[in-house]
Amino acid sequence: MSFLTRTAATSLIALVAATPLRADSLDVRIGYLQWMPDQGPVLSNVLPDPEDAGLRGAELAINDNSTTGKFLGQNYSLQSNVADSEEAAIAAFDAMRENGLDLFVVNAPASTLKTLTEKGDDNTLIFNAGAKEDALRTGQCDVNLLHTMPSYSMLTDALGQWLNQRRWDEVFLITGPTDADKSWAHAFRRSAKRFGLEIVEDKPWTFDADLRRTASKELPLFTQASNYDAVVVADVRGDFGEYVPFNTWLPRPVVGTQGMSPVTWHRVVESWGAAQLQNRFRELANRDMNSEDYAAWAAIRAIGTAVTDLNSAKPAEIRNFLFSDKFQLAAFKGRKVTFRDWNGQMRQPIPLVHPRGLVATAPFEGFLHPNTELDTLGFDQPESECRING
Amino acid sequence: MKTLLKRTALAAMIGLSTPALASVAYVSNEKDNTLSVIDTETREVIETIDVGQRPRGILLSKDYTKLYICASDDDTVQVLDLATRKIVDTLPSGEDPEQFALHPNNKHLYIANEDDAIVTVVDVDTKDVLAQIDVGIEPEGMAVSPDGKWAVNTSETTSMLHWINTETFEIEKNIVVGQRPRHVEFTKDSKIAWASAEIGGTVHIIDVDNLEQIHEMSFKVPGVNQDRVQPVGIELTSDGKYAFVALGPSNHVAVVDAQTYEVLDYLLVGARVWQLDLDKDEKHLYTTNGVSGDISVIDVEDLKVIKSIKVGRYPWGVVIDPTS
């Protein structure tokens, strides 16, 4: 079934692209590359992540752009490749460039993204719709790399603000063993400092038992401490974290990568017209839209907004437009999103969700910023070494 | 039992005295699946009517005998008989109707189908679907010019105004405006159209004869972050003096000089102000405040907010029946 709809969606895109062209029509071809390394076995394998996370968001954005484009003689098409290794992703990138593509959306680890960015030239524009590493926004920036995926620190700052405004300022931090877990926890420690939170315990997760049998015995002991207001879990791949809620020593809420989480996107986001985006996505993909889908969608919609205004698909012109005052994208998060001109990160509100509901949306009132409250999330200009616009 | 009795008694009283009553305002409550009926004299809710799921756009028939309701999640337009306040009929609407507009001929209903990127035109008498017109993504605002010549649809994600010829049902012009255009309002003489762009933060003034933008306005509410200033509903006084613009989560309504396009004042109302309607002698303006779940009443002469009225959850649209 899902294969069928996928084929239908692909042919739909092809159809849009093949619509009889007007004399003055413009072709906008965008490449989508996805490569996600195997996460390894996890204890909590109840809800596996969809394998096409990101890809379907890109497809939806092509449909959205095409609807606008048909009134303006602009034809959008997507070439996508879901690779099974880094080499395959790089080879696909090379092949697409040879084929004349110069606009890319990449959902891949930071190291792969860096390789691709280095291979690109000034006539290539890449949108990062996967890697959350802060280093890509604070030092290892590239003039032709923009990020629609929020960084770890944007997510943890959203959580830090929320804990601060709830006055739950003593937290117990549990960090998993992977690099991603450590990056998340590192970002959270910075957020804790920024928003006046005290980490009363900072413990690495070392158990390797199957917690479905033993969580109720292991975790209360593991989370023993004299007092804390909340437990913060850094378990990006969802290994043990799902078993922390309700198993803590003290009766306290669990937040972080499990429990209540700061996310880019989630099916419970419905305000500001988001219900319509969620419906469109569900109709296309037969599943709920997630953060990777959203980041890929936002990247291609940003390109579409630029092309609508410019009537040009030249990467340099699109890039200039995206950093200009004229760029504004209605991205279903309650306020327009723009790009930070020092590091190319898309500013955006961050929803805090639990699996069945929206708790709040950061930034919160009272966290002030001279330019935009959205810059209270993540590395602000003075904290970043990047100056990709000089 | 007691409340039931009281309610029946009240209803009977209303039924008896309808002609003598002051006018009545109808408010659609998006998350309660109800309409609140407000007596505009006492400014109190006198009745709550169960309707279809997720009611949003509402409008009156030109003879003021019926109220049409977009029941978005039921994929239908419901017809409320105003004399009995009962749902008496439904119309085919296409999927997810959000806003609509009735042609001055009192027959052709133009419905924006938000999930389907089309505008459906329905004959309200025969229930025939006369046309389905492809528009941009998330068609939202609908307006028909008072002279009946143009139907205008705003598509939120495509950021366009689609100008539909009401004789051919074909789009004759697309005008790109700010991001997320929400609402269009014509002047009585059909010469000027006002269009709001929620995320763009702008209101676009369109010269209807030439179908060209002649002015673009933006707003600055003191003490409110600029990206929370999000224009949605627009209401124009018929004397051409004022335009009122609901500014969404800035919780203010802008008062604009409709001739010079200068903002005269910002009035603080409830949270996330969406849609507006003037009462029959244009002395009071009613605003729906989605997040705070209430209606603010503005005195047009003094430009002051004089009352807030608690209604259902997420009030969306408001219309005032001038004949009741």
Supply the CATH number for residue B118's domain: 2.130.10.10
Contact with chain A for residue B174, Cβ under 8 A: yes
Residue of A nearest to B232 (CA): A272
Is the pLDDT higher at B155 or at B10?
A: B155
* Range scoring the smallest mean pLDDT among A40-49, A234-243, B90-99, B189-198: A40-49
Q: Do domains A2-150+265-348 and A153-262 have the same CATH topology?
A: yes
Q: What is the extent of the structural domain holding B78?
A: 62-177
Q: What are phi and psi of A17, to 5 degrees?
A: -70, -30
- Distance (Å, rounded) from C-alpha A289 to C-alpha A282? 7
Report if residue B296 sits inside a domain. no
Q: Is residue B186 part of a domain?
A: no
Q: What is the pLDDT of residues B243-257, one digit of tens each?
A: 999 999 999 999 999
Q: Is the pLDDT of residue B240 over 50?
A: yes
CB distance A71–B136 less than 8 Å?
yes
pLDDT of residue A137: 96
Q: Do A136 and A148 form a contact (C-beta atoms < 8 A)?
A: no
Q: Which pair of structure tokens corresponds to residue A303?
A: 């390109």
CATH number belonging to domain A2-150+265-348: 3.40.50.2300
Interface ipTM above 0.95 = no
Interchain contact B48–A (C-beta under 8 A)? no
pLDDT in tens, A289-342: 999 999 999 999 999 999 999 999 999 999 999 999 999 898 999 888 999 999
Contact B117 A328 (CB under 8 A): no
Residues A107-118 have a mean pLDDT of: 96
Determine, for residues B227 and A68 on separate chains, whether the beta-carbon distance falls below 8 Å.
no
Considering only alpha carbons, which residue of chain A is nearest residue B31?
A271
**Residue of chain A nearest B182, judged by CA positions:** A273
Burial (CB < 10 A; 0-12, 13-18, 19+), residue A15, is exposed
Domain boundary assignment for chain A: 2-150+265-348, 153-262
Instruction: Name the token pair of A50.
Output: 């969809």
Instruction: Give a yes or no: residue B74 inside a domain.
Output: yes
Residue A211 has a pLDDT of: 67
Confidence of residue B125 (pLDDT cuts 50, 70, 90): very high
Q: Considering the domain delimited by A153-262, tell me its CATH architecture.
A: 3-Layer(aba) Sandwich (3.40)
The per-residue pLDDT for A42 is 79
Kindly state the average pLDDT of the residues A36-56. 85
CA dihedral B99, B101, B106, B109 (to 10 degrees): -60
pLDDT score of A215: 76
The residue among A56, A24, A1, A7 whose CA lies nearest residue A297 is A56
**Per-residue pLDDT at B183 exceeds 70:** yes
Chain A positions in Cβ-Cβ contact with residue B138 (cut-off 8 Å): 273, 276
CB interface of B with A, residues 64-83, below 8 Å: none
Separation in Å, CA of A283 to nearest CA in chain B: 10
* B304 within some domain: no
pLDDT at B315 over 80: yes
Note whether B176 contacts A308, CB cutoff 8 Å: yes
Q: What is the domain count for chain B? A: 1
Q: How far is CA B64 from the centre of its chain?
A: 16
- Check CB contact under 8 Å for A372 and B156: no
Average pLDDT over residues A133-159: 97
pLDDT higher than 60, residue A4: no
Name residue, tokens 């049409």: B68
Q: How far is A314 from chain B (nearest CA, A)?
A: 21
Q: What is the pLDDT of residue A253?
A: 98
- Assigned domain for B84 exists: yes
Residue B14 confidence class, pLDDT cut points 50, 70, 90: very low
- Domain membership of residue B167 (yes or no) is yes
The whole-chain average pLDDT of chain B stands at 92
Q: Whole-model pTM above 0.95?
A: no
Q: What is the pLDDT of residue B19?
A: 43
**Chain A residues close to B159, C-beta within 8 Å:** 68, 305, 308, 330
Q: Is residue A248 packed enough to be buried (19+ CB in 10 Å), middle (13-18) or exposed (0-12)?
A: buried
B140 lies in some domain: yes
Residues of chain A contacting B179 with CB distance shorter than 8 Å: 305, 328-330, 336
End-to-end, the C-alpha distance of chain A in Å comes to: 50
Residue B145 lies in a domain: yes
Query: Are residues B199 and A68, on separate chains, in Cβ contact within 8 Å?
Result: no
